[in-house]
């Protein structure tokens, strides 16, 4: 069977006579129409009850981009085409398009290699890929959340994660305590002073940052002076008071945390971190991708946008390491989903110190695309399987 979009009537139809077909959370009917000449065909594999699974990829409006679609368009394109190939109707939408009557969305055409605005059914699942934290804090986003609940629509990954709130949640549970470097919320200068003088070397990270943006290190040197370093600059201060007086306004305004600096294990003279991708599957959180990022031009962060490079995980992996990463992923998924809402997909940045202890640096509820092609292929497969599992729990996946 195929379904197609009839442009004049702005309606989805299917081409198999004497078959009833329904789609989306509202269980809207897709009627039969014999004439589909010169229309866009979408192959659909029927799920139980003659139902088409519909996935909506939620992003925000961006007037600078094509059709006003914000976010990672390459990821949206790859995912939507993959889902369509597996019989799942997938489209991108914004809050504005959801509130329109009828609802509008954007489907990527493999033929024209472009996005097309079409009328779409309500999704069964909303894959939250809103790119900016500010929108998630808005009243409009809260209206969306309420609407999804009213319509019994699955919200896949409800929000960005705040680094300090993540640390608090993992600390409260206790099971991952040995994998968490000491961390404080940078709001009380007296507390920060004590924290710094105890550890001598700390990281200052924006609670709501990503990709290594805005990260600093503060180090007490042997002569008692302080070295304050960013990815591009180094400043010196005679004591903590002078450092705090100069930098407190910007640090407090942007919402930073302070974290004990882990002495990293190095390879070829450079620090490295593990990047693992995790997906929920049948009650468990499964590691579906493992990568390594190694610093090159600086030793503060390993992020590739900050000069880091890829390194083959296979060169470092052991059965023991694989087991440790799996255990961390499982506990993170359980704890953070319980605290913030269901996380079907997330990534973890994990460092390793000179003794071989693993430390959780960050959990990202909206992972960027991995540079490793095999990880991205695995990601699409597991997202597809999970979308099916959430909507049709008894459906066999292939």
CA 186 – CA 251 distance, rounded (Å): 8
How many other β-carbons are positioned within 10 Å of the β-carbon of residue 196?
22
CA 76 – CA 91 distance, rounded (Å): 8
**Average pLDDT, integer, range 43-65:** 85
Mean pLDDT of the chain: 90
Model confidence over 320-360: pLDDT tens digits? Answer: 999 999 999 999 999 999 999 999 999 999 999 999 999 99
**Average pLDDT, integer, range 59-83:** 90
| Banded model confidence at residue 398, pLDDT cuts 50, 70, 90 | low
CATH code that applies to domain 182-260: 3.30.1490.20
- Closest to 365 (Cα-Cα) out of 200, 162, 68, 216: 162
| Banded model confidence at residue 308, pLDDT cuts 50, 70, 90 | low
CA 260 – CA 184 distance, rounded (Å): 9
Q: In Å, how far from its chain's centre is CA 192? A: 30
Region of 260 (left: φ > 0; alpha: ψ -120 to 50; beta: rest) is: beta
Evaluate whether 67 touches 115 at the Cβ level (below 8 Å): yes
| Banded model confidence at residue 292, pLDDT cuts 50, 70, 90 | very high
- Joined together, the tokens standing for residue 192 give 């920060």
**What residue spans define the domains of the chain?**
2-156, 163-178+264-365+367-391, 182-260
Which long-range contacts does 214-223 make (Cβ < 8 Å, 24+ apart)?
A: 214/254, 215/300, 215/301, 216/300, 217/261, 217/300, 218/243, 219/261, 220/196
- Strand 154-156 and strand 125-128: pairing? parallel
CA 243 – CA 122 distance, rounded (Å): 54
Model confidence over 256-271: pLDDT tens digits? Answer: 999 999 999 988 888 8
CATH code that applies to domain 163-178+264-365+367-391: 3.30.470.20
**Average pLDDT, integer, range 149-176:** 93
**Average pLDDT, integer, range 48-66:** 87
- Strand 40-43 and strand 358-364: pairing? unpaired
CA 351 – CA 360 distance, rounded (Å): 7
Cβ neighbourhood burial of 203 (10 Å; 0-12, 13-18, 19+): buried
Phi, psi of 382 (to 5 degrees): -75, -35
Evaluate whether 267 touches 277 at the Cβ level (below 8 Å): no
**Fold designation for 2-156:** Rossmann fold (3.40.50)
Model confidence over 172-225: pLDDT tens digits? Answer: 999 999 999 999 998 777 789 999 999 999 999 999 877 667 889 999 999 999
Evaluate whether 45 touches 395 at the Cβ level (below 8 Å): no
CA 394 – CA 48 distance, rounded (Å): 9
- Closest to 241 (Cα-Cα) out of 207, 205, 196, 199: 196
Phi, psi of 168 (to 5 degrees): -60, -45
User: Which residue, chain included where needed, has tokens 């939250």?
Assistant: 128
| Banded model confidence at residue 41, pLDDT cuts 50, 70, 90 | confident
Per the DSSP assignment, residues forming a β-bridge with 251 are none
* pLDDT of the residue at 243: 94
CA 39 – CA 44 distance, rounded (Å): 15
């Amino acid at each position: 069977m195929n379904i197609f979009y009839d442009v004049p009537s702005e309606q989805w139809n299917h081409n198999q006579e004497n078959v009833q077909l329904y789609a989306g959370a509202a269980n809207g009917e897709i009627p039969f129409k014999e004439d589909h000449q010169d229309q866009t065909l979408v192959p659909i594999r029927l799920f139980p009850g003659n139902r088409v699974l519909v996935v909506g990829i939620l992003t925000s409006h961006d007037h600078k981009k094509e059709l006003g679609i914000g976010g990672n368009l390459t990821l949206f394109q790859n995912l939507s085409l993959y889902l369509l190939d597996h019989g799942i109707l997938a489209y991108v939408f914004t809050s504005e398009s959801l509130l329109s009557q009828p609802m509008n969305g954007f489907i990527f055409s493999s033929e024209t290699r472009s996005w097309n605005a079409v009328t779409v059914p309500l999704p069964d699942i909303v894959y939250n890929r809103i790119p900016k934290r500010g929108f998630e804090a808005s009243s409009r986003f809260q209206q969306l959340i309420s609407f999804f609940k009213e319509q019994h629509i699955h919200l896949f990954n409800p929000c960005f994660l705040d680094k300090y709130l993540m640390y608090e949640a993992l600390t409260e549970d206790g099971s991952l305590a040995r994998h968490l470097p000491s961390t404080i919320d940078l709001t009380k200068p007296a507390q920060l002073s004590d924290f710094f003088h105890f550890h001598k070397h700390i990281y200052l990270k924006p609670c709501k940052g990503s990709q290594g943006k805005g990260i600093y290190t503060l180090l007490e040197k042997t002569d008692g002076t302080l070295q304050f370093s960013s990815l591009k600059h180094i400043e010196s201060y005679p004591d903590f008071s002078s450092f705090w007086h100069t930098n407190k306004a910007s640090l407090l305004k942007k919402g930073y945390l302070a974290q004990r600096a882990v002495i990293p294990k190095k390879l070829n003279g450079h620090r490295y971190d593990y990047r693992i991708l995790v997906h929920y599957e049948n009650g468990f959180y499964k590691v579906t991708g493992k990568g390594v990022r190694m610093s090159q031009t600086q030793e503060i962060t390993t992020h590739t946008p900050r000069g880091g490079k890829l390194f083959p995980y296979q060169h470092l992996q052991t059965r023991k390491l694989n087991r440790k990463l799996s255990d961390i992923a499982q506990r993170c998924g359980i704890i953070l989903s319980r605290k913030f809402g269901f996380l079907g997909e997330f990534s973890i940045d994990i460092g390793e110190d000179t003794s071989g202890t693993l430390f959780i640096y960050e959990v990202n509820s909206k992972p960027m695309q991995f540079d490793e092609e095999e990880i991205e292929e695995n990601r699409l497969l597991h997202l597809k399987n999970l979308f099916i599992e959430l909507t049709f729990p008894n459906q066999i996946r292939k």
